[in-house]
Amino acid sequence: MNNPSLSKRTSMTAPDNMTALLVLSDGTLFWGKGVGAQGASVGEICFNTSMTGYQEILTDPSYAGQIITFTFPHIGNVGTNDQDIECDKPRARGLILRTDITDPSNWRSIEPFNAWLVKNNLIGITGIDTRALTSHIRDKGAPNGVIAYAEDGQFDLDDLLNRAKSWPGLEGMDLAREVSCTHVYEWNEPLWQRTIPTQRFHVVAIDYGAKKNILRCLVSAGCRVTVVPSTITSEEIFSLCPDGVFLSNGPGDPAATGLYAVSTIRAILERRIPLFGICLGHQLLALTIGAKTAKMKLGHRGANQPVKDLQTGKIEITSQNHGFEVLTETLPTSAEVTHVSLFDGSNEGVRLKDQAAFSVQYHPEASPGPHDSHYLFKRFIDMIEADKASRKAA
């Protein structure tokens, strides 16, 4: 069913056959039909332009605190399975869809999408004019909002609006603590249907909200991977004797996470241990060397984002999910910009000139997304290998 045009709050009675609504903090309403679990959820409303990978997107820990608008209309059409997940449970707070969920039509499906949503307590709404909502977000920035689903169509609009207005937003939120592991563990699963190569190097991965496919890529690149909590100390990391350290992706405001992460990363740099960061890990590395981060108006979320590698001149189509950016003009002279977004010119990568450390804003593990950037994992391994050879020669 088509959704009514954007309108200000006027009524507490749901239109016929409508069982869900989205309330933005500015009072804008969207009526629709509910899917998934009943209830209400508040968060930042964002949009993702990916055409595939909805299960991976909903289980990406970087989406903690957010309600995802899918611009692609056929979300749910291939069902769900136990392989296409990026963490043990979804961290997104809800989802917004254009069309009704259809029966699954894929041989890998073991459960319909709606049943998976109910099982994971995710609230969704369909029948939304996602083009209008996306335009609203593009014009005014990502708003706070509440998504609510009730079969009886009864809603307290004043309460929902107050919840949307009073939610503090992602700036200042340290969500990495919420999604990080709580204990140290080994990860030994490679990329799908591949044998485990010889594990030549030991990499400690700091979990700020790590996606499973990043860990798989590290294993397939030849690493023995030890995953550690976000609040781990540098002394605890050094006791594990890593050949390299990886800084994972994650949600929330990097400046808030940096209050405890920066001291650990600084100690790693002082030990001159090879280091590689992705997304939040990229932002934390930048903060450690004295740069600043800021919240973006829209952020980048999708599997079709063009990035230029300034070192090779090549263009990569990348998968991205971030709402904060590193401010290039604040980087110290010891850092070099390696990648830039061709959408808006924002920073997409840095490397340190005087030691083996680099990071990228996008997601080279491509889950979902293109595989243009898988070379970065090999670059990390080559960096570790060169470091070990240098230490041995010394």
For residue 368, say if its preceding peptide bond is cis, omega within 30 degrees of 0: yes
Strand order in 223-229's β-sheet? 185-187, 223-229, 201-207, 244-247, 275-278, 357-360, 347-352, 335-341, 293-309, 315-326
363 labelled catalytic: yes
Q: What is the C-alpha separation between 177 and 161, in angstroms, rounded?
A: 28
Identify whether the C-beta of residue 148 lies closer than 8 Å to the C-beta of residue 160: yes
74 labelled catalytic: no
Q: What is the C-alpha separation between 80 and 61, in angstroms, rounded?
A: 18
Q: What is the DSSP string of 233-282?
A: -HHHHHHT--SEEEE----S-HHHHHHHHHHHHHHHHHTT--EEEETHHH
Catalytic-role residue among 181, 217, 279, 282: 279
Catalytic-role residue among 282, 300, 322, 363: 363
Which pair of tokens denotes residue 208? 């700020």
Q: Decide the pairing of beta strands 66-70 and 94-96.
A: parallel
279 labelled catalytic: yes
Element housing 136 (H / E): helix 130-140
Q: What is the C-alpha separation between 198 and 105, in angstroms, rounded?
A: 38
Closest CA relative to residue 219, chosen from 207, 227, 228: 227
Identify whether the C-beta of residue 157 lies closer than 8 Å to the C-beta of residue 23: yes
Catalytic-role residue among 56, 316, 325, 365: 365
Element housing 159 (H / E): helix 157-166
Residues annotated as catalytic (active site), given as ranges: 279, 363, 365
